[in-house]
Chains A and B, each alone.
Chain A
Amino acid sequence: MAQNPQNKSPKDSSPILECKNLSKAFDQHFVLKDVNLEIPRSKIVGLLGQNGAGKSTLIKLINDLLVPTTGEILVDGQPIGIHSKEIIAYLPERTYLDRSMTVRATIAFFSEFYSNFDSQKAETLVKELDLKLDQRITKMSKGMQEKLQLILVMSRQAKLYVLDEPLGGVDPATRDYILDTILSNFSDGASVLISTHLIADIERILDEVIFIENGRITLIDNADRLRNQHHTSIDAIFRKTFRPKTN
């Protein structure tokens, strides 16, 4: 079980992320409904749900990429803003890099804009993951670009890592490698929120799990307690919970 023990000050006992009565609607169709949740510090939390359950919407709201219809989000006790962006390292589902840049230029870009970015660490990880510093992003495969994004995100000394489907476009052999990269590179005392539907691959690292279905949070629990309660894996519990209804 991956844990991230830290000596907690009284302030550190407050959650790193709080969502209060959070809803999001598009054209009067609600994709998130009255979400209330707290992400504690120093935990790895899995945001688990089927495709279209509202995982990405929730993550976009946390990252100021969508405007909530109702409700409030607090990060480190403050509303979404410059401070939250400074302490959240976000890995989106899609490639967000400027394709005309090289790997080295991209690292320089991150270094210029994020005060908590460790260029040295990024360059080391680039070499470890068999990428080339002078390679242009446009010449890289989608998988390589995703690796680079992961490196850039994990090279930040953030307080909250928000990873949206980090294993989405990756072959099964690489998944463990990516998970290990995440585990061995996030900063001390930080929390990680991982959204995925590939639960079997990820459950070994989770401290807490959140189940989301049709825009509603249906379960928030400790991963070990859940496993002990049901005498089975989180993956099996998920499959049982979200089994398609047959006639």
Chain B
Amino acid sequence: MLAKLIKYDLKYILKTARIFIVLLLASVLIFNFTSYVPELITEIQDGQPNVVGEIVPPLIIQALHGLAQFAIYAFIFALVFITILSIWRRFKNNFYGDEAYLTHTLPLSRHTLWTAKFCSTFIAIAVVILTLIFGCFLLSFSTNGLQLLESFGLVYGCTHCVGDYYFVEPQSFSLYASYILLFFTQISFITFCGITGIIIGHRTNRHQGCWSLLSGFTVYFICGFLLIGILYIISLINPDFSFIFGEPISSGAYVPDDPRIPARISNFINPEIITQLFLIIATVYLCYIIIQYFTSQKLLKKGINLD
């Protein structure tokens, strides 16, 4: 029964999201196909090469490329945003809207109903994250795509280490993995804050929408402040993390062993420290999500009151 519930939830949630998945991937492909690097025209003047112009593709290609870049930004935002909204909408309709009259009269326990929502939320967000990873993977095939990834902060070290070209440090696989985990847990956490808000808000008899919004934000901010507190304590215990609060890097100073890196750059943060930091934050978010799961389950077990 749990699997059936998840199936129906995902069908609903991904119905709109899949449109944005297709649009995003199409934009990435267009962006890659229209990718170009201007070729400089130089002339020797007084024995010195002098740039007198550049060769660029036709205007239509440039326009298409610019449009695709804008579309990538827009569809990434839309995909994440629409998925979260669909999850919230589905949950509200199923648990407190008209459809709740069917949901709560199915011969299933509230525990099963809630666990199905929990799992489908995780799966839907995982689908979104996997789509984004796949999109980034496709982008990495073009030079402009790599530049775009850099603007997302996804090509570690490229800004600081190498002036003219981009590369991925071998040890950064774990960094990417922790980055993805962090993004996944963060989006999941935000989504569950909304769901917890809906549950708390609907325990009141009036202004349930307002109470849901207020409760969701309250849970989010309390957890956010707690996270800052946890990180502060960690930075006191381990000076490697003191840079989070603006302190100069002490024992965490790191110089990549790469001859291409200019000597003037010295203020590196060890990617391992960043990886650890991402993992710590992801773990905290995961703990929050687990706490929200059990808290919401307890609240739902007390029963619901439909209008």
| Interface residues, chain A, with chain B CB atoms under 8 Å away | 26-27, 60, 63-67, 81-83, 85-86, 88, 90, 92, 94-98, 100, 109, 112-115
**Which listed residue (A26, A67, A83, A96) contacts B101, Cβ 8 A?**
A96
Q: Is the beta-carbon distance between B15 and A65 smaller than 8 angstroms?
A: no
What is the CA–CA distance of A68 and B161 in the complex, to the nearest angstrom?
66
Q: How far is the CA of A81 from the CA of B8 in the complex (A)?
A: 23
Residue B304 at the chain A interface, CB threshold 8 Å:
yes
B56 contacts chain A at the CB level, 8 A cutoff: no
Say yes or no: A64 contacts B105, CB within 8 Å.
Answer: yes
B100 close to A (CB within 8 Å): yes
Residues A95 and B104 in contact, CB atoms below 8 Å apart: no
Name the one of A95, A97, A114 contacting B107, with C-beta atoms under 8 angstroms: A114
Tell me which residues across on chain B come within 8 A of A64, comparing CB atoms.
Answer: 104-105, 303
Answer yes or no: B305 CB below 8 A from chain A CBs.
yes
In the assembly, what is the distance between CA of A215 and CA of B146, in Å? Answer: 69
The verdict on A94 contacting B105 (CB below 8 Å), with A65-B306, A100-B15 known, is no
**B101–A92 touching, CB < 8 Å:** yes
A96 touches B304 (CB 8 A): no
Cβ B99 vs Cβ A96 within 8 A: yes
CA A98 to CA B99, docked complex, whole Å: 7
Known: A65-B306, A67-B304. A82 touches B109 (CB 8 A): yes
Asked if residues A96 and B205 are in contact (CB atoms below 8 Å), the reply is: no
- Minimum CB–CB distance from B1 to chain A (whole Å) comes to 7
Closest 7 CB pairs between A and B? A67-B303, A96-B101, A86-B107, A96-B102, A92-B101, A85-B107, A65-B306
Find B105's partner among A26, A63, A98 (CB 8 Å cutoff): A63
Report whether A82 and B107 are in contact in the complex, using a CB–CB cutoff of 8 Å: yes
Residues of B contacting A81 with CB < 8 Å?
A: 109
Partner of A98, one of B4, B12, B107: B12
Measured between beta carbons, the chain B residues less than 8 angstroms from A88 are 105
Question: Once bound together, how far apart are the Cα atoms of A92 and B108, in whole Å?
Answer: 18
Complex interface: chain A residues within 8 A of B205 (CB): 26-27
Task: Flag whether B98 is at the interface (Cβ < 8 A).
Answer: yes
Instruction: Please tell me if the beta carbons of A94 and B12 are within 8 angstroms of each other in the complex.
Output: no
Beyond A81-B109, A82-B107, A98-B99, 6 additional contacts (C-beta under 8 Å) are: A66-B303, A67-B303, A85-B107, A96-B102, A97-B102, A109-B8
When distances are taken between beta carbons in the complex, the residues of chain B under 8 Å from A95 are 98
Query: For residue B304, which residues in chain A have a CB less than 8 angstroms away from its CB?
Result: 65-67
Chain B nearest CB, measured from A111 CB (Å): 11
CA distance A66 to B107 in the complex (A): 16
A65 and B101 within 8 A (CB): yes
Whether the pair B4, A65 counts as a contact (CB closer than 8 A) is no
Chain A residue numbers with a CB within 8 Å of B236 are: none
Nearest B residue to A27 by beta-carbon distance?
B205
Selected contact of B106 from candidates A60, A85, A92, CB within 8 Å: A85
What's the Cα separation between A27 and B305 when bound, in Å? 12
A26 to B98, CA, bound (A): 20
Is B302 an interface residue when CB atoms closer than 8 A count as contact?
yes
Asked whether, in the complex, the Cβ of B107 is within 8 Å of the Cβ of A100, the reply is no
Q: Which residues of A contact B4 (CB under 8 A)?
A: 112-113
Contact A82 B108 (CB under 8 A): yes
Chain B window 89-130, contacts with chain A (Cβ cutoff 8 Å), 1 for yes, 0 for no: 000000000111110111111000000000000000000000
A87 nearest CB across to chain B (Å): 9
A63: contacting residue among B1, B8, B104, CB under 8 A: B104
State in angstroms the CA–CA spacing of A66 and B99 once bound together. 15
Find residues 258-307 in chain B having any chain A CB closer than 8 Å to their own CB: 302-306
- Minimum CB–CB distance from A124 to chain B (whole Å) comes to 22
Among A81, A92, A114, A115, which residue has the most Cβ atoms of chain B within 10 A?
A: A92
Shortest C-beta distance, A158 to chain B (Å), equals: 11
Q: Measured between C-beta atoms, what is the minimum distance from B195 to chain A in Å?
A: 19
B51 to chain A minimum Cβ distance, whole angstroms, is 58
Within 8 Å CB of A115, what residues of B? 107
Most buried by B among A98, A109, A112: A98
Q: Are A65 and B104 in contact (CB under 8 A)?
A: yes
Verify A97–B99 contact, CB threshold 8 A.
Answer: yes
Q: Which of B1, B12, B99, B105 meets A65, CB within 8 Å?
A: B105
Contacts of A114 in B (CB 8 A): 106-107
Cβ distance B9 to chain A, nearest Cβ, rounded Å: 11
Q: For A27, list chain B residues within 8 Å (CB).
A: 205
